[in-house]
Amino acid sequence: MRSGAASASEKTVSEQMRGIEERRDELAAEWATGELTRKEWATARRALDDQLATITRALSRDTHTTALAQFAAMEGDAWARWEQLTTGARRALVEATADPITIGPAHRGKRYFDPNRIQITWKA
């Protein structure tokens, strides 16, 4: 269950992201009409991209923290809890605990899953 604070926070993040997208559109329109030079456009675009990246990183950290907290609060052993998670929750949990995951090349002619092709680096 989400708290009111969580939904207010999500609304704020959504509004911030929407505002950045609107400013990007305005920036493109100003460049298209010749009101901005290419250099001015690139500088402003870079600043907007940096703002969006900051918001996205913070949102990712929050999602990972939430996934870990929810997983820890569930009852049962780890595999039983894993089975109860949605695909999105599983993905958030893996992203929160592993970095990176490397999949090696497939073996010609083999039509089965080979776990030896997967290399996981766990976060501390």
* Predicted confidence (pLDDT) per residue in 37-68, tens digit: 999 999 999 999 889 888 777 777 777 777 77
Q: Of 79-83, 101-105, 113-117, give the range with the top mean pLDDT.
A: 101-105
Residue-range definition of the domain harbouring residue 43: 4-98
What residue spans of 1-124 are helical by DSSP H?
4-32, 38-73, 78-84, 87-97
Q: State pLDDT tens for residues 11-35.
A: 677 788 888 888 988 999 999 999 9
Whole-Å CA distances, 19 to 5, 31, 57, 86, 113: 21, 18, 17, 31, 45
Asked if residue 107 belongs to a domain, the reply is no
Question: CA angle 89-91-93, nearest 5°?
Answer: 70
Query: Which value, to the nearest 10 degrees, does the dihedral of the CA atoms of residues 1, 77, 65, 118 take?
Result: -130
Asked if residue 54 belongs to a domain, the reply is yes
pTM for the model stands at: 0.49
Asked if residue 110 belongs to a domain, the reply is no
Asked if residue 75 belongs to a domain, the reply is yes
Asked if residue 115 belongs to a domain, the reply is no
**18: Cβ contacts below 8 Å, ≥ 6 apart:** none
Number of domains in the chain: 1
Asked if residue 35 belongs to a domain, the reply is yes
